[in-house]
Structure 1
Amino acid sequence: MQTPFAAPDWTTIPAPVDDGATRRLAGARMASVPLQATNGATVDLSALPGRVVVYAYPMTGKPGIEPPDGWDMIPGARGCTPQSCSFRDHFAELKALGVDHLFGLSTQPPDDQREAAERLHLPFAILSDQPLKLVRAMNLPTFEAGGMTLLKRFTLVINDGAVEQVFYPVFPPDQSASDVVNWLSKRTQPSL
């Protein structure tokens, strides 16, 4: 496991609240929307067989570029890099628990995502919904900041194209992968 990214003091950052924006997703079929991946592939989450985990996040910052004004005070905005690093660090464990595919998802341009994936040494691809096609087709929760439409933070477990589990709100972000691991562990334990 790699050294985790230094996370901020989460007690100083407002936590998001469950506004019900993802309740209708459990059991829903994923919309057939091709998404550009950082590895050059085009991915349609509705067509992937097996178990897929997708963690959605607002935006990964770039070194030397300031986030939008007030970023840290937007509930749920801060923490994209610690969340991605957490999934990176739990990647092998997720695979061992039956995850066939793991993806990050944001509305950032693919070039920004590629930079983050390379810098953070992610062993999985990040998907771009920059044109907001999946956001609109699935009515995914978003917020506006700095003139951008960004995804609120949530995680989907998808099984054969249908949403099996939704984690929302996600806080603190660096615990997101552990939450998924714990949920999967309980589902894969033999019955007594």
Structure 2
Amino acid sequence: MTQTRLAPGDAAPDFTLPTDSGDTLSLKDLRGRKVVLYAYPAAMTPGCTKQACDFRDSLASLQAAGYEVVGISPDTPAKLATFRERDAITFPLVSDQDKSVLSAYGAYGEKQSYGRTVTGVIRSTFVLDADGIITHALYNVKATGHVAKLRRDLHID
């Protein structure tokens, strides 16, 4: 199975997906703003919670630098709403239950997990410019410490 991986300069695949708040979010609605889109395997698991809380805690500085943050996972909107409430997540979480958007971004497919090859969400982060062009495509990122590294890469703080 060959996975498509996005690279800087690629146009970000557009999407319209349900959110944790019961609305829908379209990537094209964020045009004119820079976007950090991050893919994570499952809400309310230890690593994903740590990563979401890191983004939440860095949101003010990211927004001050002109970035919107959006999290994407295959969780249901109801589970995402529970996650948002439980951990006071202050940015949109979108639900990609059929994994079509995750696949379009190369963030769903074969990965290594505890020495085995499994199929699932590949923890990834994509940074888009105001025109929807990818400036950073980071695959297999770590749940812990990733947001701090991203802030350094983006020269924030």
Structure showing greater Rg: 1
Q: Tell me, what secondary structure is at the counterpart of 1:28?
A: coil
Q: Tell me, what secondary structure is at the counterpart of 1:118?
A: helix
**Aligned counterpart for 2:25 among listed residues 4, 23, 43:** 43
Q: Tell me, what secondary structure is at the counterpart of 1:185?
A: coil
Q: C-alpha separation between the residues in 1 aligned to 2:72 and 2:52?
A: 10
On the 8 A contact 1:55/1:103 being kept in 2, the answer is: yes
Matched, 1:184 2:151: no
**Aligned counterpart for 1:86 among listed residues 49, 54, 60:** 54
Query: What is the CA-CA distance between 1:31 and the residue it aligns to?
Result: 2.1
Over 3 Å counting, the alpha-carbon distance change for 1:103 and 1:24 in structure 2 is: closer
Mapping of residues 126-137 of structure 1, within 5 Å: 126-137=93-104
Over 3 Å counting, the alpha-carbon distance change for 1:177 and 1:21 in structure 2 is: farther
Query: What is the CA-CA distance between 1:21 and the residue it aligns to?
Result: 5.5
Q: Any gaps of 5 or more consecutive residues in structure 2?
A: 114-118
TM-score by length of structure 1 reads 0.68
**What's the counterpart of residue 65 of structure 1?**
none
Q: C-alpha separation between the residues in 2 aligned to 1:33 and 1:23?
A: 17
Q: C-alpha separation between the residues in 2 aligned to 1:109 and 1:29?
A: 27
Mapping of residues 50-61 of structure 1, within 5 Å: 50-61=33-44
Matched, 1:155 2:120: no
Q: Tell me, what secondary structure is at the counterpart of 1:119?
A: helix
Query: What is the CA-CA distance between 1:45 and the residue it aligns to?
Result: 1.8
Over 3 Å counting, the alpha-carbon distance change for 1:136 and 1:46 in structure 2 is: farther
Mapping of residues 1-192 of structure 1, within 5 Å: 23-49=5-31, 50-61=33-44, 79-99=47-67, 101-143=68-110, 150-159=120-129, 160-171=131-142, 173-185=143-155
TM-score by length of structure 2 reads 0.81
Q: C-alpha separation between the residues in 1 aligned to 2:124 and 2:3?
A: 10
* Number of equivalenced pairs: 149
Deviation string, structure 1 residues 61-110 (Cα, Å, up to 9, x no partner): 37xxxxxxxxxxxxxxx6111001110111111111221x2111101111
**What's the counterpart of residue 116 of structure 2?**
none
Q: C-alpha separation between the residues in 2 aligned to 1:164 and 1:47?
A: 19
Query: What is the CA-CA distance between 1:25 and the residue it aligns to?
Result: 3.4
Q: Tell me, what secondary structure is at the counterpart of 2:43?
A: coil
Deviation string, structure 1 residues 42-76 (Cα, Å, up to 9, x no partner): 122245212000111100237xxxxxxxxxxxxxx
On the 8 A contact 1:22/1:168 being kept in 2, the answer is: no
Query: What is the CA-CA distance between 1:123 and the residue it aligns to?
Result: 0.9
Deviation string, structure 1 residues 99-134 (Cα, Å, up to 9, x no partner): 1x2111101111111100110001111011112221
On the 8 A contact 1:59/1:150 being kept in 2, the answer is: no
Off by >4 Å, runs of 4+ in structure 1: 20-23
